[in-house]
A and B are shown apart, each in its own frame.
Chain A
Amino acid sequence: MSLIDSLPRVGAPKLPKADGLIPWIVPLAIILIWQLACVTGFVPSRVLPAPTDVALAGWKLLLSGELVRNIWVSFWRASIGFLIGGGIGFAFGLANGLSQLSAKLTDTTLQMVRNIPHLALIPLVILWFGIDESAKLFLVALGVFFPIYLNTLHGIRTVDPQLIEMGRIYGMTDGELFRRVIFPGALPSIFVGLRFALGIMWLTLIVAETIAASSGLGYMAMQAREFMLIDVVVLSILIYALLGKLADSASRALERLTLAWHPAFQQK
């Protein structure tokens, strides 16, 4: 995506303001068609409430403070779980990428654990932790661990050996070699892991909150289902989409900032 975006445009006039709006044309059109379908009665409101009804439900929940509280709880769980799992994954990725011994010691084990779908652990996790915070944090951390671990490891292993040789010839210490050659070289791959992990982070959290929670967005959606509040269910789903987009935009902004050297991120 970003590669094609950054290709020099030949002949196309630059419209910087309109450019920013283009990605939103499709979502807006979908909402418009959806609204029309509901207003005309093509889709019964028991199946899918109109966007305006969803917005109204959102407004009510916003006024009652329930919405903000649930979003905040989910956001907090997502971030903490991400930091724990991502941090450990990153640490293992670095250790196994840099040290043969560490890789021999832990990689096989990690690869075995990786092949267990982490959501399959939910029954076990509920038995261990009940339905309190640690259960959700554990699942999120486990979910984000692997994409970060695998991509950090891959990034470090695939740093151009010629550059590493160059660094050694020019007298870089191990620390300098890591800071100036290995880490920047692994960074594009680490970002791929980061973006995968963000997706898995939301997925895990929502599933965990839907099954075992007493607060959060997933819980809000499940409660709404109990009371047949389909507008709130749809609202929750839309909020997931927005939060996911937000996380992705944040990681892309970070990418642009740190990978300015990369031809794919250079703006002419």
Chain B
Amino acid sequence: MQEALRFRPVDAEPIDHADIVVKARQLRRGSDAAARGLSLTIRGLRKSFGDNEVLRGIDLHIPAGQFVAIVGRSGCGKSTLLRLIAGLEAPTAGSIGFGEQPRAQDVRVMFQEPRLLPWARVLSNVEVGLGRERSSADAQARAEHALVEVGLGDKRTQWPSVLSGGQKQRVALARALVSRPRVLAFDEPLGALDALTRISMQQLLERVWRDQGFTAILVTHDVAEAVALADRVLVIEDGRIARDVTVDLPRPRRRGSAELAALEGEILKHLLEGSDDTSDL
């Protein structure tokens, strides 16, 4: 048990145990995949909306190819952190640096809503993900390949309105994957799905992450999902990283295993204690 739980102080040196785990995993995956992810270093990150300070100084290093889950109660700033990483908002103070200067299509976001264009067929929706490479000769072939990757190759001529919620989200995933991003940020992408669809989507996310080796940042309110998927779980509280938990369990992880449950319980306990604190205020 203690092997699996490794809490460490937030201000630890960026290079640490997690890095080694990821590197070993990447070696197993092959160097091609290892070259794909981008590392991420965040220093003194702050973000305010008017008088409301949402992020109050985040320092974080994410090694290339790591799968990081960010959990926290609603309003803790986890989605803001993701939007800052994805470049959708500008920080008030501090910096976000990538291992190398990313091109626009290297960082992609997947939202809770699929955000598909209802007036474009599934394949055209995936082609949107190619960004500026949309007009290249192999655009359609790449989009088709991405659709096959998420298991929807046969839906390419459908309108989004005839797809189920899970299928729409898979199209959104294909759109995010088609440009072969090196950082993929997920903002509660499975939040609106039913329990069974969620589990198969989690397996799909894990599979494409292992295949493509991008750096994955998953914001979720579901702690079970976080510990099942991530190498590392960050607990955000009051705009700061309250806990940084390494999940050192072999993959594929068995749902409902004792280790996962213990880890989940540990993090949940922390979150709930936090809520007791605020109820005293």
Residues of A within 8 A of B (CB): 162-163, 165-167, 169-172, 180-181, 184-185, 187, 259-263, 266
10 cross-chain CB contacts under 8 A: A162-B113, A165-B115, A169-B86, A169-B88, A169-B108, A170-B128, A171-B105, A184-B119, A260-B159, A266-B159
Closest to B129 in A: A170
Question: Are A261 and B105 neighbours in the complex by a CB distance under 8 Å?
Answer: no
Question: Are B159 and A169 neighbours in the complex by a CB distance under 8 Å?
Answer: no
Closest to B132 in A: A171
> With A166-B115, A171-B104, A266-B159 in contact, is A261–B120 under 8 Å at CB?
yes
Query: Complex formed: what's the CA distance from A181 to B117 in Å?
Result: 7
Question: Are A163 and B117 neighbours in the complex by a CB distance under 8 Å?
Answer: yes
Distance (whole angstroms) from the CB of B67 to the closest CB of chain A: 21
Query: Complex formed: what's the CA distance from A261 to B129 in Å?
Result: 20
Q: How large is the interface on B (under 10, 10 to 19, 20 to 34, 35 or more residues)?
A: 20 to 34
Contacting A at CB under 8 A, from B68-112, are: 86, 88, 104-105, 108-109, 111
Residues in B with CB closer than 8 Å to A259 are 119
Instruction: Check B31 for interface membership: any CB of A closer than 8 A.
Output: no
Residues in A with CB closer than 8 Å to B131 are 170-171
Query: Complex formed: what's the CA distance from A178 to B22 in Å?
Result: 42
Residues of B within 8 A of A (CB): 86, 88, 104-105, 108-109, 111, 113, 115, 117-120, 128-129, 131-132, 159-162, 175
Residues in B with CB closer than 8 Å to A262 are 118-119, 161
Question: Are B113 and A184 neighbours in the complex by a CB distance under 8 Å?
Answer: no
> With A169-B88, A170-B131 in contact, is A266–B162 under 8 Å at CB?
yes
Closest to A184 in B: B119
8 closest residue pairs by CB, A with B: A171-B131, A184-B119, A261-B119, A166-B115, A263-B161, A261-B159, A171-B104, A170-B128
Q: How many A-B residue pairs have CB under 8 A?
A: 48
Query: Complex formed: what's the CA distance from A169 to B86 in Å?
Result: 9
Query: Complex formed: what's the CA distance from A167 to B108 in Å?
Result: 12
Query: Complex formed: what's the CA distance from A181 to B128 in Å?
Result: 11
Distance (whole angstroms) from the CB of B180 to the closest CB of chain A: 14
Question: Are B162 and A184 neighbours in the complex by a CB distance under 8 Å?
Answer: no
Most B CB within 10 A of own CB, among A167, A260, A261: A261
Residues in A with CB closer than 8 Å to B111 are 162, 166
Query: Complex formed: what's the CA distance from A170 to B109 in Å?
Result: 9
Closest to B118 in A: A261
Query: Complex formed: what's the CA distance from A259 to B119 in Å?
Result: 7
Residues in B with CB closer than 8 Å to A187 are 119
From B88, B108, B109, B161, A261 is in contact (CB under 8 Å) with: B161
Question: Are B115 and A162 neighbours in the complex by a CB distance under 8 Å?
Answer: yes
Distance (whole angstroms) from the CB of B176 to the closest CB of chain A: 9
Closest to B121 in A: A261
Residues in A with CB closer than 8 Å to B161 are 261-263, 266
Question: Are B88 and A165 neighbours in the complex by a CB distance under 8 Å?
Answer: yes
Query: Complex formed: what's the CA distance from A44 to B117 in Å?
Result: 60
Closest to A259 in B: B119
Query: Complex formed: what's the CA distance from A162 to B132 in Å?
Result: 20
Known contacts A162-B111, A163-B115, A165-B88, then 9 further A-B pairs from the complex at CB < 8 Å, ordered by chain A residue: A166-B115, A170-B128, A170-B131, A171-B132, A172-B128, A180-B128, A184-B117, A259-B119, A262-B161
Distance (whole angstroms) from the CB of A264 to the closest CB of chain B: 10
Question: Are A169 and B132 neighbours in the complex by a CB distance under 8 Å?
Answer: no
Residues in B with CB closer than 8 Å to A263 are 161
Most B CB within 10 A of own CB, among A163, A165, A166, A262: A166
Residues in B with CB closer than 8 Å to A260 are 159
Distance (whole angstroms) from the CB of A177 to the closest CB of chain B: 11
Residues in A with CB closer than 8 Å to B109 are 169
Most B CB within 10 A of own CB, among A162, A171, A266: A171
Query: Complex formed: what's the CA distance from A185 to B105 in Å?
Result: 25
Query: Complex formed: what's the CA distance from A44 to B175 in Å?
Result: 71
Distance (whole angstroms) from the CB of B227 to the closest CB of chain A: 29
Residues in B with CB closer than 8 Å to A185 are 119
Query: Complex formed: what's the CA distance from A261 to B159 in Å?
Result: 6
Query: Complex formed: what's the CA distance from A265 to B104 in Å?
Result: 36
Query: Complex formed: what's the CA distance from A261 to B120 in Å?
Result: 7
Distance (whole angstroms) from the CB of B196 to the closest CB of chain A: 25
Query: Complex formed: what's the CA distance from A53 to B54 in Å?
Result: 80
Distance (whole angstroms) from the CB of A78 to the closest CB of chain B: 30
Distance (whole angstroms) from the CB of B140 to the closest CB of chain A: 16
Query: Complex formed: what's the CA distance from A259 to B161 in Å?
Result: 12
Distance (whole angstroms) from the CB of A181 to the closest CB of chain B: 7
Residues in A with CB closer than 8 Å to B88 are 165, 169
Distance (whole angstroms) from the CB of A153 to the closest CB of chain B: 20
Query: Complex formed: what's the CA distance from A169 to B104 in Å?
Result: 8
Residues in A with CB closer than 8 Å to B118 are 261-262
